[in-house]
Amino acid sequence: MLPGDSTSDAVPMPPSRDAPNTANSVRRRIPVHFESRLSSVAHIVFIVLGLMAFAYFARSVVIPVLLAWMISMTLKPLVRWLQAWHVPTPIAAGLVVILVATGGTIGMIRLGRPAVEWVQSAPENAPRIKEKFQHILRPAVKLSEAASSVGTLDPAESTTKKPQPVEVKDNRVSSTVFTWTGSLLAGGAETVALVFLLLIAGDLFVQKLVRTMPTFHDKKHALQISHEIQQSISKYLLTVGIVNLCFGVLIGIVFHLIGMPSATMWGGVVALLNFVPYLGPVAGMIAVALAGLLAFDTLALGLLPVGAYLILHLIEANAVTPFVLGRRFTLNPVVIFVALIFCIWLWGVMGALLAVPLLVSFKVLCERVPALATAGEFLSGADSAPKP
């Protein structure tokens, strides 16, 4: 070794105590509150996924419970009105439930039978539209035939081509309707019984919640929030129900004046479909357009019912309902559409009816709970009023 060689005499120095460890330094760079927030978000995600799985697999139980809760919240103002006249709660709840159940049963019998008959005869009546308006569809038919004949290069092949046998399939609409009717009656009985029990219970669950609060201030605050949420949801559901009922009656009167067959049935169908935003009116307009084309001989008269339906729906959706409900219940249209798609995937047709009431209920809850204020802001529409 050379005496001047510094590398040969170098002795490895022990690591300094002041040098930070790499893992510790990375861990110190992450704030503690960020780790706790990330853990809370993960817990919330797991809880939401678990609730979704429960709601999907237990839908035969969840749907009647949610539907009964929604109906009971709608009927609570009527029960309270009877209580103000010194009617006992069980008698008031029984009268309201019997009245609503009787009216619903009569409506289903009177309106459901023509609707089922129309659905059963729709496949048979569809070719009549083509025959009736053949002179209008003739240019399109000729164009389609010309386009299909362009691909045929061998004329002998077209002449020797054997006709395809026609296979007649059984109409399974009747069996499907009977199956739905049985399940509907069973679920309806469960829902009616649960509505009666919820109306009798009244504020029992709110009182139980208040008793669990530790201080008097918390009890008072929880009681105030619960009453405001109940009043807001009841006001929304009752108002929307009255608006849709009046809208269906108006549609029935207009269709009767136009000369539309089964005008009363179409008024009930329109009122029911109006509970489903976007998708319900679109489906109703398609059905009314087909029925109008089948009922009238000219294209102008055939499209008159759906035109009247469209005009009245635009007035109701953009003027009447916002004026009656106010800006407080305005929701984000994107959130409404996503909620509809999700609830239809989760619960089918009943999910479409429950989507918006559940969304409004959650929005009202977010307005009254400070921890959920951010979620309530995302649910609100552009013209929604600030939280009072």
Q: Where do the structural domains in the chain lie, given as residue ranges?
A: 326-388
- Residue 260 reports pLDDT greater than 70: yes
Q: How far apart are CA 232 and CA 387, in angstroms?
A: 13
Contact residues for 182 (Cβ-Cβ < 8 A; gap 6+): none
Asked whether the beta carbons of 344 and 319 are under 8 A apart, the reply is: no
- Mean pLDDT across the stretch 352-367? 86
Residue 247: band (very low, low, confident or very high) from pLDDT cuts 50, 70, 90:
very high
- Residue 329 reports pLDDT greater than 60: yes
Each residue's pLDDT tens digit, 147-163: 565 555 454 444 454 55
Q: How far apart are CA 25 and CA 34, in angstroms?
A: 16
Asked whether the beta carbons of 199 and 97 are under 8 A apart, the reply is: yes
Q: How far apart are CA 354 and CA 343, in angstroms?
A: 8
For the packed helices 59-84 and 333-347, what is the interaxial angle rounded to 10 degrees? 120
Each residue's pLDDT tens digit, 96-151: 999 998 988 888 888 877 877 787 777 777 677 667 666 565 555 555 565 565 55
Report the pLDDT value the prediction gives residue 153, as an integer from 0 to 100. 47
Mean pLDDT of the residues in the chain:
78
Report the pLDDT value the prediction gives residue 246, as an integer from 0 to 100. 95
Of 299, 316, 193, which is closest to residue 249 (Cα–Cα)? Answer: 316
| pTM score | 0.72
Q: Residue 171 has which token pair? A: 């109409």
Each residue's pLDDT tens digit, 344-353: 999 988 898 8
Report the pLDDT value the prediction gives residue 157, as an integer from 0 to 100. 46
- Residue 29 reports pLDDT greater than 70: no
Report the pLDDT value the prediction gives residue 282, as an integer from 0 to 100. 93
Q: How far apart are CA 250 and CA 267, in angstroms?
A: 7
Report the pLDDT value the prediction gives residue 388, as an integer from 0 to 100. 44
* Integer angstrom CA distances of residue 22 from 2, 13, 35, 70: 38, 19, 18, 57
- DSSP structure string for 251-262: HHHHHHHHT-TT
Report the pLDDT value the prediction gives residue 386, as an integer from 0 to 100. 47
Each residue's pLDDT tens digit, 283-294: 999 999 988 888
Q: How far apart are CA 102 and CA 98, in angstroms?
A: 6
Report the pLDDT value the prediction gives residue 285, as an integer from 0 to 100. 94
Q: Is 247 exposed, middle or buried (0-12, 13-18, 19+ CB in 10 A)?
A: buried
Of 337, 341, 328, which is closest to residue 381 (Cα–Cα)? Answer: 328
* Integer angstrom CA distances of residue 378 from 7, 118, 244, 328, 364: 66, 42, 27, 14, 13
Each residue's pLDDT tens digit, 178-208: 455 556 667 778 888 999 998 998 777 777 7
Report the pLDDT value the prediction gives residue 182, as an integer from 0 to 100. 57
Report the pLDDT value the prediction gives residue 33, as an integer from 0 to 100. 61
Q: When comparing pLDDT for 367 and 24, which is higher?
A: 367
Q: Which residue has the tokens 């005009």?
A: 311
Residue 26: band (very low, low, confident or very high) from pLDDT cuts 50, 70, 90:
very low
- Residue 245 reports pLDDT greater than 80: yes
Report the pLDDT value the prediction gives residue 274, as an integer from 0 to 100. 93
- Residue 273 reports pLDDT greater than 80: yes
Q: How far apart are CA 50 and CA 48, in angstroms?
A: 5
- Residue 223 reports pLDDT greater than 90: no
